[in-house]
Amino acid sequence: MSEDTLSPTLSLEKAELVGLNEVTRAKTLELYARKYGQPDAASPLLLFRGDIAEAHQYDKIRPLSAAQAHGNVIVIEAQSQKQGTSGHYQIQCNQWGLLEVLAKLA
């Protein structure tokens, strides 16, 4: 878990903000730390939330960094499995206790 400040070039304009609060923030940080504490090549892939997946061509991402909190938005660095590029993504723990990707931020 990290409270690090994000890069000044990272914009949260594309972040999903509806439904975020301190509870989702804490649950997301805790679950991510437990499952991806030290992300590596063997880390499981994360999927975009169902209603958002089509916009991202059903891409999957491989986590590359620890989670960072920016307010109630949780951001990780990850690699797209379709394009092979790295970027910053917003994640959230859903009501079933699963991590899902909400947005590609940069």
Q: Are 97 and 75 in contact (CB under 8 A)?
A: no
Q: Print the domain residue range for 64.
A: 22-104
15 lies in a domain?
A: no
Band of the pLDDT at 2, cuts 50, 70, 90?
very low
Domain count, the chain: 1
49 lies in a domain?
A: yes
74 lies in a domain?
A: yes
2 lies in a domain?
A: no
4 lies in a domain?
A: no
Q: Are 89 and 83 in contact (CB under 8 A)?
A: no
**Model pTM score:** 0.87
pLDDT tens-place string over residues 14-35: 999 988 999 999 999 999 999 9
Residue 41 pLDDT > 80, yes or no?
Answer: no
**Amino acid present at 11:** S
64 lies in a domain?
A: yes
1 lies in a domain?
A: no
38 lies in a domain?
A: yes
- Residue that wins the pLDDT comparison between 106 and 74: 74
